[in-house]
Amino acid sequence: MRLLFELLGEHETLPRAEVLACIEAEGHDYEISEEESRILVLETEAEPERLGERLGLTRYVDEHLASGSISELEDAARGLRPLSGSIALRRRDLRPRPERDSGDEGLNRIGGILANTNPVDLDSPDNEVRLISGKNNYLALKKAAIERSSFGERKVDRRPFFSPISLHPKYARALVNLARTSKGKTFLDPFCGTGGILIEAGLIGAELMGSDIKEEMIEGCRENLLSYNLDSFLFRSDVGDISENVDSVSSIVTDPPYGRSSTTMKEELGSLYRRSFESFSDVLERGGYLAIVLPDKAFIEVGEEYLRLEEVYEQRVHRSLTRFYCVFKNY
Ligand SMILES: C[S@@+](CC[C@H](N)C(=O)[O-])C[C@H]1O[C@@H](n2cnc3c(N)ncnc32)[C@H](O)[C@@H]1O
């Protein structure tokens, strides 16, 4: 099926990368046919509903029906098979505000064409057809709407055990997807803290393992995971000793301390990260992925001494913190 993804606009490259990694994690190929900053159109066998359950940085997953000028979309609408049940046509304008027109004329004409073959129900339609305008125009049939509010509800201050050291759940989810995490496969966060990353991996069905140097974090993390009914194997360990408890894992996702709000136990960052990468390369299975957030480009080279660097995405958080979302593979 040809799918259209409407991506969140808050990062230029990360939402797109998350979609592609997610399709791979579900065991499918893809062929990109069109893209612009907030839109990605591709051919894949992956199920749109499952992708919708997984993605953190996408707003909608649609079936792509047509692209082009409004009059080309009108022609395409005339050629569409009738859908089963009622329809509503909705407008989505992704262009910068000064470039937007009201767009109602196109909407009315295409709506009129679709209404010839399908009953219209604007309040609770069986099918939502979307007319999207960006650099190009698109006609698409909504397959999955990502529940944006559910990510907000899982924010750190809403969990039973709280510590202000956790990534926003949507970015934690993106990292989990970048590591090609799969349902039923083993997953480790060796700096698990309050469990923000483990919750996101657990919600897509991974077998959870987590460790942290602080007993207090392990207990709090357990409480948080239980509040989402998630099973896990949690143990207290220095990152250098995880192989005493773990033989091999399919993916590792982690947000280590940067030596600011979260402690490194007085260890210098370079030394902590080196020991971490060494440990990860011991337990990560061949072909397995590590997705990690680093606070400085310089540490990426340390990782490359142990694993193969696949992708890097930069996110400026504020003047003195830039996060580097890095994806490594064990080859
Ligand atoms: C940034 S926090 C992790 C946040 C976590 N993703 C969450 O959702 O809460 C980093 C964690 O690393 C732990 N830590 C620090 N040094 C460690 C070490 N040497 N080995 C294992 N864990 C360590 C800290 O106790 C802290 O919980």
Taking residue 14's Cβ as centre, other Cβ atoms within 10 Å add up to 22
CATH assignment of the domain containing 97: 3.30.2130.30
Task: Give the pLDDT of residue 105.
Answer: 77
Give tens-digit pLDDT for 177-233: 999 999 999 999 999 999 999 999 999 999 999 999 999 999 999 999 999 999 999
- Residue 103: pLDDT band with limits 50, 70, 90: low
Determine the distance separating the centroid of ligand 1 and the alpha carbon of 255, expressed in angstroms: 7
Question: Could you give the number of structural domains in the chain?
Answer: 2
Instruction: Please check whether residues 82 and 229 belong to one and the same domain.
Output: no
Instruction: Please check whether residues 171 and 197 belong to one and the same domain.
Output: yes
Instruction: Please check whether residues 117 and 156 belong to one and the same domain.
Output: no
Instruction: Please check whether residues 199 and 134 belong to one and the same domain.
Output: no
Instruction: Please check whether residues 185 and 312 belong to one and the same domain.
Output: yes
Give the relative orientation of helices 215-227 and 196-203 as an angle to the nearest 10 degrees: 30
* C-alpha to C-alpha distance for 24 and 58, rounded to whole angstroms: 16
Q: Which domain holds residue 104?
A: 2-146
Instruction: Please check whether residues 187 and 85 belong to one and the same domain.
Output: no
Determine the distance separating the centroid of ligand 1 and the alpha carbon of 212, expressed in angstroms: 6
Which residues, other chains included, contact 68 with Cβ-Cβ below 8 Å and sequence gap of 6+?
76, 136, 137
Stretch 155-178: mean pLDDT: 87
Instruction: Please check whether residues 115 and 217 belong to one and the same domain.
Output: no
Q: Which of 117, 146, 175 is the last residue of a domain?
A: 146
Instruction: Please check whether residues 114 and 88 belong to one and the same domain.
Output: yes
Position of tokens 């069905």?
Answer: 205
Q: Are 118 and 83 in contact (CB under 8 A)?
A: yes
CATH assignment of the domain containing 185: 3.40.50.150
* Contact 265 CB / ligand 1 (< 6 Å): yes
Instruction: Please check whether residues 130 and 166 belong to one and the same domain.
Output: no
Determine the distance separating the centroid of ligand 1 and the alpha carbon of 239, expressed in angstroms: 9
* Contact 212 CB / ligand 1 (< 6 Å): yes
Q: Which of 125, 146, 167 is the last residue of a domain?
A: 146
Instruction: Please check whether residues 140 and 173 belong to one and the same domain.
Output: no
Give tens-digit pLDDT for 289-324: 999 999 999 999 999 999 999 999 999 988 888 999
Instruction: Please check whether residues 141 and 168 belong to one and the same domain.
Output: no
